[in-house]
Amino acid sequence: MPVLFELQYNPPAAFFAELPGNDVLLLERHEHYHKQTYRNRCLILTAQGVQPLTVPVVDGNRSEKVLISALEIDYRQNWVHRHWRTLQTAYGSSPYFAYYADYLHDIYVQKIPLLFDLNLALLHLQLRCLRLRIPVEFTAAYHPTYSPTAVRDRRDWLTPKAPISPEPDRTSVRPYPQTFGAPFVSGLSILDLLFMQGPAAGSFLV
């Protein structure tokens, strides 16, 4: 069965934990942009606690009227430099930051014009790093609902305001050592898991 997600910016690890066992990762291409979601932000762990990294979009006040596949990134703001410096500060001493840094940096410096295309480039890299072999396809039109026997709809299932819900059917990520110690912080971007566990990261998706 296909599992349907909106395309997210460096998604939470729980996004990837949903993929095994499904036939296809179906990405929503025909929705309108939603503010304050993982579509343009991710959560990382810093010395000061959990911090969001947000990709600014062009004409942010009107952005919710724009199709997600057409939404432009605002490079007038120096967000690439800020995100990269924050990642270096938070994870530079982690076991596998250097292992993945060049691949990530190569994507960021391209200054990809559209948010959808940036997120897709990052997603393909992360799937390779996790060794998750699942076909990626796109919706042909927008449908507010799907038959639960045809599509596993996970759109807006994860949100920055409540990264992991206590719903019993939610998957989770097995706790792993994090840069800034106990207690374990859930709901973080997949980057946190990759930087800490490297090639073994996939084994923590449960």
Instruction: Give how far Cα 109 sits from Cα of 62, 75, 123, 130, 152, Å.
Output: 26, 11, 16, 23, 35
Strand-pair partners of 25: 3, 136
The C-alpha angle 29, 31, 37, rounded to 5 degrees, equals 100
Q: Which of 138, 130, 141, 143 is nearest to 173 (CA)?
A: 130
pLDDT given for residue 193 in this prediction: 97
pLDDT at 15: 96
Q: What is the pLDDT of residue 162?
A: 61
Of 93, 106, 95, residue with least CA distance to 198: 95
Angle, to 10 degrees, between the axis of helix 79-91 and the axis of helix 190-197?
Answer: 40
Helix H or strand E encompassing 118: helix 115-130
Residue 172 confidence (pLDDT): 72
Q: Where are the domains of the chain?
A: 2-204
Q: Across the chain, how many H-helices and E-strands are there?
A: 5, 6
- Which residues are CB-neighbours of 81 under 8 A, at least 6 positions away? none
**Per-residue model confidence as pLDDT tens for the chain (206 residues):** 999 999 999 999 999 999 999 999 999 999 999 999 999 999 999 999 999 999 999 986 777 789 999 999 999 999 999 999 999 999 999 999 999 999 999 999 999 999 999 999 999 999 999 999 999 999 999 999 999 999 999 999 999 876 444 443 344 789 999 998 778 998 999 999 999 999 999 999 97
CB atoms within 10 A of CB 18: 19
